[in-house]
Amino acid sequence: MTNSIQDIETADVILATGTNTTENHPVISSFIKRACLKGTTLIVIDPRKIKLTQHGDIWLRQTLGTDIAWINGFMHVIIKKNLYDKEFIKKRTEDFEELKKTVLKYTPEYVEKITGISANKIIETAKIFAQAKKGCILYCMGITQHTCGTDNVKSLANLSMLCGNIGLPGGGVNPLRGQNNVQGACDMGGLPNVFTGYQKIDDDNVRKKYETAWNVTELSFKPGLVATQMIEKAEKGELKSLYIMGENPMVSDPDLNHAEKALKNLDFLVVQDIFLTETAKIADVVLPANCFAEKNGTFSNTERRVQRVRKAVNAPGSAKEDWKIICDIASLMGYSMDYADPEEIFEEIRETTPSYKGITWKRIEKQGLQWPCPTEDHPGTPILHTEQFTRGKGLFHAIEHQDPAELPDKNYPFMLTTGRVLYHYHTGTMTMKSKGLNTLSPECFVEISSNDVTKLGFKDKAMVEVLSRRGKIKAKLKISSKAVDGTLFIPFHFAKAAANKLTNAKLDPIAKIPELKVCAVKIQRPA
């Protein structure tokens, strides 16, 4: 996030897209609701009539996979009506003319044909967003999990820069991270092309710094594989072993039948987790780890805030802290890795990571700090890019709409999108151990509009088969006011009716993220 969570309440207008905030980020949604009560205009752009629309002033329903088109349409209107921030663009950005040329053809009428959003609504909403002094954009995986996910994000950045909403309170481009420490995992180098703090592995000076800190030589300058590429390589037999920590790809990966085949093709699979997940059940070795309440350390949340987490209870059985397991394995493999405690590890992080250098264990005793925090007297950075962008000037990207990898046809006439429900978290590894949560949300369902149920000749709660070109599942129909004609929604939490048996594994060419948010399916009576 470029801004802080509390900043949401100070915005004049909030544009929330690709985020079912009330169910996926209920705490953050309370900031949105409070902002609305104070008079903030809320624009929700989502293929479903999610609960957040009840608090909003405007809900626009775009056809799945058409986000670039409506964003370009907004920018077309803003430029045509002379509502863009000329001073911001002149001083702080470049390549504006290229963007201008590209969005010229995205007239409201043209965008209506692609997205299904009426031309008048595009004009009205674009004007509302552009005329606000402080415009906040919130997005989540409804924007990123597409074959054009990277371009979707760049397009939102274009829109924010066009209106001069970067670097000020109540503005910004704010991704809501999908899990509690995913920001921290990325910060700590949990990506194949960077060390901690996003320091590039092909930078000779950075590598030398780490070689000195770790007392090693010849650290690789070649990027490794991302998770989706690992599955592909495993299926081909080019990847022989895999070590999975705190992830359950046997439920969460796209085209699940293919993913299962790939994982079972490995020579050696290790899973480190707190419960025996669906993935752990097929592993050669399972290493029992501690949960968040059984260890000390830090989490870095969605607003870049580094916070302490403290041990509350002892771990059961032979479970160990993750860092101790890793140290033990490294030592057995010939590299002595030994730390006294998490604070010592954090000291090493500080010494090697410029954005964390000023964050000490003592400074975050009671309240976390937001990176970048370069010195111990620095207060942290609630808002990014206040004076200039990391690269100097903000770069506009001229981006064209592209269709999803798979569209409906006569054989597979429905579009499917997937997501979460309030009562379960990710693959249900933890939440499905709770009797209360299982009572509230006991089984998978297929959310469908009343019109589509009538056309199909089914009844509410009927058991059906949903099929894609990759697999099929059985689940109950659920007529819902959230649903719109032609689009189905299935939560992906439930292993017994895993929605990801249906989803498409086609990847964004840059981020390598799969197109989990749109594929073509059909419904039929169970055989």
Tens of pLDDT, residue by residue over 472-498, are 999 999 999 899 899 999 999 999 999
Instruction: Encode pLDDT of 135-168 as tens digits.
Output: 999 999 999 999 999 999 999 999 999 999 999 9
pLDDT for the residue 179: 81
Confidence at 527, pLDDT banded by 50, 70, 90 = confident
Domain boundaries, the chain: 5-176, 414-524
**pLDDT tier for residue 439 given thresholds of 50, 70 and 90:** very high
In this prediction, residue 426 carries a pLDDT of 86
Q: Output the CA angle 295-298-299, nearest 5 degrees.
A: 110
Residue 23 predicted with pLDDT over 90: yes
Whole-number Å distance between alpha carbons of 489 and 261: 26
In CATH terms, the superfamily for domain 5-176 is: Dimethylsulfoxide Reductase, domain 2 (3.40.228.10)
Residue 321 pLDDT level (bands cut at 50, 70, 90): very high
In this structure, whether the domain defined by 414-524 belongs to CATH 2.40.40.20 is answered with yes
Q: Are 369 and 67 in contact (CB under 8 A)?
A: no
pLDDT at 178 over 90: no
Neighbours of 264 (CB within 10 A): 12
Residues 458-465 have a mean pLDDT of 93
Report the range of poorest mean pLDDT among 153-167, 175-189, 355-369, 401-415.
175-189
Q: In this model, does residue 68 exceed pLDDT 90?
A: yes
**What average pLDDT is seen over the chain?**
95
Quote the CA–CA distance of 105 and 388 in Å, as a whole number: 31
Helix-, strand-, coil-residue percentages of the chain, each rounded to 5: 35, 20, 45
Q: Is 476 within 8 Å of 447 (Cβ atoms)?
A: no
Q: 125 pLDDT band (50/70/90 cuts)?
A: very high
C-alpha 420/C-alpha 358 separation (Å) is 37
Q: Assess whether pLDDT exceeds 90 at residue 5.
A: yes
Query: Per-residue pLDDT for 25 more than 90?
Result: yes
- pLDDT tens profile 284-312: 999 999 999 999 999 999 999 999 999 99
Q: Which helix (H) or strand (E) holds 478?
A: strand 472-479
Give exposure, 159-188, as e/b (b: 16+ Cβ within 10 Å).
Answer: bbbbbbbbbbbbbbbbbbbbeebebbbbbb
Percent with pLDDT over 70 in the chain: 100
The helix or strand, by DSSP H or E, that contains position 16, with its residue range, turns out to be strand 13-17
Reported as a single tens digit per residue, the pLDDT across 368-390 is 999 999 999 999 999 999 999 99
Q: What is the pLDDT of residue 377?
A: 96
- For residues 38-43, give the mean pLDDT: 96
Residues 498, 427 contacting (CB under 8 angstroms): no
Residue 56 confidence class, pLDDT cut points 50, 70, 90: confident
Distant-in-sequence, close-in-space partners of 90: CB < 8 Å, separation ≥ 6: none
pLDDT computed for residue 285 by the predictor: 98
The pLDDT assigned to 114 comes to 97
Per cent of the chain over pLDDT 90 is: 96
Q: What's the CA gap between 45 and 31, in Å, rounded?
A: 18
Prediction pTM value: 0.93
